Amino acid sequence: MRILITGASGMLGRALAARLANGHSLLLWGRQEADLTDEGAVRDAARGIEFDAVVHAAAATDVDGCERDEEGALRVNRDGVRHMAALALERGAQLVTIGTDYVFDGTKTSPYEETDPTAPINAYGRTKLAGEVAALESGARALVVRTSWLFGPGGRNFVDTIAGKLERGDALQVVNDQRGSPTYTRDLAHGIARLLGRGATGIVHVTNRGEASWYEFAVAIGRFLGATAPIEPIPSSRMPRPAARPAYSVLSGTRYEALAGKPLPAWEEALHHYLTMRPRTAGAAT
Ligand SMILES: NC(=O)c1ccc[n+]([C@@H]2O[C@H](COP(=O)([O-])OP(=O)(O)OC[C@H]3O[C@@H](n4cnc5c(N)ncnc54)[C@H](OP(=O)(O)O)[C@@H]3O)[C@@H](O)[C@H]2O)c1
């Protein structure tokens, strides 16, 4: 298959490029190929190239930044999807776009199914939900892969932040009243490849198996690193941020498992793999 990947220099984009290079020919788009908010620029960049699928991983992902500029976030997270979906439809290509657990309000206490009502509580979630709708109503063969709490090489992520602080011996305070499923970009890219191979459409939740609070996630990082710096659990109210976060956003893997044949690995296993591969922070205490 010829696959066009957007956001190819982002955290998930890099993992997708590495995974999908195996058996496919790839067209990798970063921001320099096209500003996806500009439909004309997308059309110009696509002139003369052919592809069977688009995996759209570009997005405005700074949750607090989206809260400060919801209009700007809409241009990327809704209009960018709209432009890529129009292109996919025109070429008869499959579209895969990436969604988020933050489309839910977090009031459930059991994993969210694909059919559960959405009710985002922040601008990022609202703009990403608008992107889902744009994809699903575009007329293209569209798959929305909702995922959560990503970590992996080549992007700003919680694991690197916490590991860096622990390696410097900093004491940490981490919120303990938000629960989700940490997900490794390498495993997610594998899941997306499986769904693409099966021609899946609609919405599918894809995360590593299991759940944690951010505090529990940080404690696991410390344990794997053998770090001794103290980690204190705190409520979100002690760490005010511009954007509210859902208290619970675990996604159910039932539909993914039925389509793919097996779940992704547990997040602890994924974390272990990432921390084993990851270079240590420069200047870390030994
Ligand atoms: N990170 C998470 O925890 C998380 C959780 C749930 C869902 N997701 C979703 O997963 C997907 C991948 O996330 P990620 O963490 O890999 O994101 P990321 O590392 O921030 O990468 C996003 C990429 O999109 C590019 N981009 C942004 N605006 C663009 C524009 N107007 N035109 C062209 N390219 C543009 C960025 O380029 P620049 O670097 O030049 O800005 C960046 O390379 C996104 O759809 C995100 O919403 C992420």
* 256 is an active site residue: no
How far apart CA 269 and CA 286 sit, in angstroms, is 24
Query: Which residues in the chain come in under a pLDDT of 50?
Result: 282-286
Q: Going by C-beta distance under 8 Å and a sequence separation of 6 or more, which residues neighbour residue 218?
A: 158, 162, 172, 174, 231
For 102, the token pair is 């933050």
The string of DSSP letters for 29-49 reads E-TTT--TT-HHHHHHHHTT-
Place of tokens 């620029």: 41
State pTM to two decimals: 0.97
**6, β-bridge pairs:** 29, 56
> For position 18, what pLDDT does the model report?
97
> For position 155, what pLDDT does the model report?
85
Domains, the chain, in order of start with CATH, read 2-156+182-210+250-266 (3.40.50.720)
Pocket test for ligand 1, best of 150, 151, 250 (most atoms within 8 A of CB): 150
For 61, the token pair is 């992902």
- Tell whether ligand 1 has an atom less than 6 A from the beta carbon of residue 36: yes
Q: Whose CA is nearest to atom 39 of ligand 1?
A: 10
- Compute, in angstroms, the gap from residue 31 CA to the centroid of ligand 1: 10
- Tell whether ligand 1 has an atom less than 6 A from the beta carbon of residue 59: yes
For 276, the token pair is 């084993």
Strand order in the sheet with 53-56: 25-29, 2-6, 53-56, 94-100, 141-147, 202-205
- Tell whether ligand 1 has an atom less than 6 A from the beta carbon of residue 35: yes
101-132 pLDDT, tens per residue? 999 999 999 999 999 999 999 999 999 999 99
> For position 278, what pLDDT does the model report?
83
Q: Which of the following is catalytic: 124, 215, 256, 274?
A: 124
- Tell whether ligand 1 has an atom less than 6 A from the beta carbon of residue 37: yes
Index of the ligand 1 atom closest to the CA of residue 183:
3
3-state secondary structure (DSSP) of residue 259: helix
- Compute, in angstroms, the gap from residue 149 CA to the centroid of ligand 1: 13
> For position 284, what pLDDT does the model report?
45
- Tell whether ligand 1 has an atom less than 6 A from the beta carbon of residue 156: no
How far apart CA 284 and CA 282 sit, in angstroms, is 6
- Compute, in angstroms, the gap from residue 231 CA to the centroid of ligand 1: 29
How far apart CA 97 and CA 77 sit, in angstroms, is 10
Catalogue the E-assigned strands of the chain. Answer: 2-6, 25-29, 53-56, 94-100, 141-147, 150-151, 172-175, 179-180, 183-184, 202-205, 212-213, 231-234
- Tell whether ligand 1 has an atom less than 6 A from the beta carbon of residue 12: yes
Index of the ligand 1 atom closest to the CA of residue 58:
24
